[in-house]
Structure 1
Amino acid sequence: MVCTCEMIGIACILALFLSFSSKAPYQLKMAIFIIGSGAIVLICIPLMVFRPRDYRNALIPAWGCRQLCKALGVTMEVRGLENIRTEHGAVVLINHQSFIDLCGLAYLWPVIGRATVVSKKEVLFFPFFGFGAWLWGTLFINRSSKKDSINTLQKESKAIQERCCKLLLFPEGTRNTKDTLLPFKKGPFHIALQSQCPIQPVVISKYYFLNGEKKLFRPGHAIIQILPEIPTAGYGKDDMDELIATTKNVMEAEYKKLNQENRKC
Structure 2
Amino acid sequence: MGHAFQVVRSALFIGQMYLAMAVIGIGFAPWALLSNRGARMACRSYSQWVRWTARWMVGLRSEVRGEVPTDDVLIAAKHQSFLDIILIYAALPRARFIMKQELLMTPIFGQYARRVGCIAVDRGKRGKAMKQMVAEVKQGRNNPGQLVIYAQGTRVAPGARLPYKVGAGVLYGQFGLDCVPAATNVGVFWPRRGLLRRPGLAVVEFLPRIPAGMPISAFMAKLESDIESASDRLMQEAGFQVQTDLN
For Structure 1 versus Structure 2, the TM-score category normalised by the shorter chain is 0.7 to 0.9
Match of 2:243 in 1: none
Q: Deviations over 1:34-87 (max 9, x none)?
A: 443344323322221111488734333333333343343322111112x62x34
Amino acid at match of 2:131: N
Among 43, 61, 84, the alignment partner of 2:46 is 61
Alpha-carbon distance between aligned partners in 2 of 1:195 and 1:44, rounded to the nearest angstrom = 33
- Aligned positions of 1:19-30 closer than 5 A: 21-24=5-8, 29-30=13-14
Amino acid at match of 1:63: Q
Identical residues among aligned pairs (%): 23
Pair 1:227 & 2:207 matched: yes
Alpha-carbon distance between aligned partners in 1 of 2:163 and 2:12, rounded to the nearest angstrom = 32
Cα deviation, residue 163, structure 1:
4.8
CA gap 1:72/1:141 in 2 versus in 1, 3 angstroms: farther
Alpha-carbon distance between aligned partners in 1 of 2:23 and 2:103, rounded to the nearest angstrom = 15
Further displaced range: 112-121 or 28-37:
28-37
Alpha-carbon distance between aligned partners in 2 of 1:148 and 1:39, rounded to the nearest angstrom = 36
Among 95, 100, 115, the alignment partner of 2:83 is 100
CA gap 1:160/1:200 in 2 versus in 1, 3 angstroms: farther
Alpha-carbon distance between aligned partners in 1 of 2:143 and 2:20, rounded to the nearest angstrom = 32
**Could you tell me the TM-score, scaled by structure 1's length?**
0.76
Match of 2:245 in 1: none
Alpha-carbon distance between aligned partners in 2 of 1:180 and 1:145, rounded to the nearest angstrom = 24
Cα deviation, residue 96, structure 1:
1.0
> For the aligned residues, what is the CA RMSD?
2.9
CA gap 1:71/1:50 in 2 versus in 1, 3 angstroms: farther
Q: Deviations over 1:128-165 (max 9, x none)?
A: 22112212222111222334422332234436765542
Match of 1:33 in 2: 17
Give the 3-state SS of the residue equivalent to 1:247 in structure 2: helix
Alpha-carbon distance between aligned partners in 2 of 1:126 and 1:246, rounded to the nearest angstrom = 35
CA gap 1:65/1:43 in 2 versus in 1, 3 angstroms: farther
Q: Which blocks of at least 5 consecutive residues in structure 1 are unaligned?
A: 1-20
**Could you tell me the TM-score, scaled by structure 2's length?**
0.81
Match of 2:102 in 1: 122
Give the 3-state SS of the residue equivalent to 1:210 in structure 2: coil
Q: Which blocks of at least 5 consecutive residues in structure 2 are unaligned?
A: 241-247
Match of 1:249 in 2: 225
Q: Could you tell me whether the CA contact under 8 Å between 2:82 and 2:192 is conserved in 1?
A: no
Match of 1:46 in 2: 30
- Aligned positions of 1:84-99 closer than 5 A: 84=69, 86-87=70-71, 89-99=72-82
